[in-house]
Amino acid sequence: MSPPALFVAGAGTEIGKTYVTAALTRRLRASGPVLALKPLASGVPPVGDPAFAQSDTARLLAAQGLPVDAGTVEACSPWRFAAPLAPDQAAAREGRRVSLDEIVAWCRGRIATAGCPVVIEGVGGLMSPITDAATGLDWIEALALPVVLVSGSYLGAISHALTAAEVLRLRGLTTGAVVVSESEGAPTPPETVAGAIARHTSCPVFCMNRGAAAPEGLAALVG
């Protein structure tokens, strides 16, 4: 039997997926090994560039207590692109293509051989294109993993989160939890946003202020 795994997806772009994934990884490491993966990543500088330290991949490696080198980066994020665009567009700029079948097979292989819980972070929003024909939602559906849906606390976040949760439900996917990640300059506290989302969904809703540790209940989803 493969170890437990879940997929961290976003209700939008740049709302805190990596922050939540890294915090969850650190929380899980308190109980044992954990594997955090960011298979697809756009807007990534070369590994030797000082700016790489601020990349999503570098943050996930740090959360796992791993050094940043060519081997660890490739093992975490094999599909990396320089342009800060959707993966299909970023790949096209480099004369490359992304294959959903290859990504799914790679993820399944890593889960099967990990020997520990696995957390996979998606890219962009739930419906962001990742290939010429597939979206992040198609990727999740192919893996059939429970989803942690990350929302911001910005104006409009409630609708975006509930819409994404409904899309997951209609695809027959399990939303293990919604996490409201604090958005800088938001007009209302993240706790208020989380409370509103909780009134309209049946899954647990957690709130994460910037700098906070991952809630224990969130880690329990990968127990």
Q: How many CB atoms lie within 10 A of CB 39?
A: 24
Query: Model-level pTM?
Result: 0.95
pLDDT in tens, 65-92: 999 999 999 999 999 999 999 999 999 9
Kindly state the average pLDDT of the residues 48-75: 96
Which one is catalytic: 26, 27, 38, 110? 38
The pLDDT tens digits of the residues spanning 119-158 come to 999 999 999 999 999 999 999 999 999 999 999 999 999 9
pLDDT of residue 1: 52
38 Cβ contact partners less than 8 Å away, ≥ 6 residues apart: 18, 21, 56, 57, 60, 76, 77, 120, 121, 123
pLDDT digits (tens, 9 = 90+) for 152-193: 999 999 999 999 999 999 999 999 999 999 999 999 999 999
User: pLDDT over 90 for what percent of the chain?
Assistant: 90
For residue 53, the enclosing domain spans 5-222
Cα–Cα nearest to 125, from 96, 90, 155, 167: 167
Question: If pLDDT is split at 50, 70 and 90, which confidence band does 211 have?
Answer: confident
Identify the CATH number of the domain in which residue 29 sits.
3.40.50.300
Q: Chain-wide mean pLDDT for the chain?
A: 94
Q: Give the strand pairing for 35-37 and 118-121.
A: parallel
Q: What is the dihedral of CA 107, 66, 22, 104, to 10 degrees?
A: -10
Closest CA to 43 of 91, 7, 8, 3: 91
Query: What is the Cα–Cα distance from 125 to 8, expressed in whole angstroms?
Result: 10
> Is 38 known to be catalytic?
yes
The number of distinct structural domains making up the chain is 1
Res. 3: pLDDT tops 80 = no
Other CB atoms closer than 10 Å to residue 216's CB: what's the count?
A: 10
